């Protein structure tokens, strides 16, 4: 399956797996929408984590869809479902979240990224503008100046700059440690699977995780 859904403790995980770069097509959109609905139907779920297997978080739209009708479900429906979910939704980013992938992350309530993550809105380099709400959500998150730099420049920024702007709350390794009650260690490295397991184990009280994200 392109998107798998599982629960770890009281945390639901929607895990995208579409090699090589987790480009977003109709199957990915449908899988994310299904994950939101399944998480919403389970009263035991306290939070939803959106993450990806492989070398990167969703790297953007599947370019084969450009210039054609976008198959259902549309981006707007998926992003609105994430944004309107009645429990916290956390985008766990790594690699190169770009374009539509970053727009999906922006629709989540919280975002965190590994230290080596590079984020961008590169649509301008293709002669187009973001079409999944990025032009609205990005200024709300980082302010007009920061949003214009990203939208009109198209160049990637690293996780440190994203954190300075307010686009990313914390390095995943730090989040996992804080959620588990340990002191932050900015030099620690941790795999995505480790993070998901640690986050799930640490969130019997999901407020501890969110407190760690916000404190970052």
What gap in Å lies between CA 21 and CA 89, rounded to an integer?
22
**3-state class percentages of the chain: helix first, strand second, coil last, to nearest 5:** 45, 15, 40
pLDDT, averaged across the chain: 75
Q: Catalytic residue among 77, 123, 164, 188, which?
A: 123
Report, in angstroms and rounded to the nearest whole number, the Rg of the chain calculated over CA atoms: 16
CA–CA–CA angle 129, 103, 51 (5° rounding): 145
- Give the CA-trace dihedral at 79, 44, 49, 82, to 10 degrees: 10
What gap in Å lies between CA 188 and CA 7, rounded to an integer?
26
Respond yes or no: is residue 123 known to be catalytic: yes
Q: Which residues, listed in sequence order, are joined to residue 64 by a DSSP beta bridge?
A: none
pLDDT digits (tens, 9 = 90+) for 85-111: 988 888 888 888 888 898 999 899 888
Looking at per-residue pLDDT, the higher value among 68 and 7 belongs to 7
3-state SS string for 7-67:
EECCEEEEEECCCCCCCECHHHHHHHHHHHHHHHHCCCCCEEEEEECCCCCCCCECHHHCC
pLDDT digits (tens, 9 = 90+) for 166-196: 776 544 443 333 333 333 333 333 344 554 5
pTM exceeds 0.85: no
Cis amide prior to 20 (ω within 30 degrees): yes
Provide the pLDDT for residue 117. Answer: 85
Weakest mean pLDDT among 25-29, 35-39, 116-120: 116-120
Measured from the Cβ of residue 13, the count of other Cβ atoms closer than 10 Å reads 22
Query: Domain locations in the chain?
Result: 3-215
Q: Catalytic residue among 65, 103, 164, 188, which?
A: 103
Q: Would the CA dihedral through 146, 148, 153, 159 be positive or negative?
A: positive
What gap in Å lies between CA 131 and CA 75, rounded to an integer?
9
In angstroms, the first-to-last Cα distance of the chain is 34
CATH, domain range 3-215: 3.90.226.10
Respond yes or no: is residue 77 known to be catalytic: no
Provide the pLDDT for residue 201. Answer: 47
Provide the pLDDT for residue 163. Answer: 77
Confidence of residue 212 (pLDDT cuts 50, 70, 90): very low
Asked whether 202 and 182 are in contact (CB, 8 A), the reply is no
């Amino acid at each position: 399956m392109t998107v798998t859904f599982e629960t770890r403790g009281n945390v639901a995980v929607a895990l995208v797996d579409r090699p090589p770069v987790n480009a977003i097509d109709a199957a990915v959109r449908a899988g994310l929408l299904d994950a939101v609905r399944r998480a919403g139907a389970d009263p035991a779920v306290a939070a939803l984590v959106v993450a990806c297997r492989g070398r990167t978080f969703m790297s953007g739209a599947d370019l084969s869809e450009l210039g054609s009708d976008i198959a259902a479900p549309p981006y707007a429906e998926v992003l609105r479902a994430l944004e309107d979910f009645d429990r916290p939704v956390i985008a766990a980013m790594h690699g190169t979240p770009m374009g539509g992938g970053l727009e999906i992350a922006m629709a989540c309530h919280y975002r965190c990224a590994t230290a080596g993550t590079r984020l961008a809105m590169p649509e301008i380099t293709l002669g187009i503008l973001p079409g999944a709400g990025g032009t609205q959500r990005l200024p709300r998150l980082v302010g007009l100046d920061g949003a214009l730099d990203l939208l009109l420049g198209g160049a990637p920024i690293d996780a440190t700059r994203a954190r300075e702007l307010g686009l990313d709350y914390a390095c995943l390794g730090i989040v996992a440690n804080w959620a588990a009650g340990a002191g932050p260690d900015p030099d620690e490295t941790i795999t995505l699977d480790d993070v998901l397991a640690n986050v799930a184990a640490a969130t019997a009280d999901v407020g501890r995780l969110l407190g760690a994200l916000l404190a970052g």
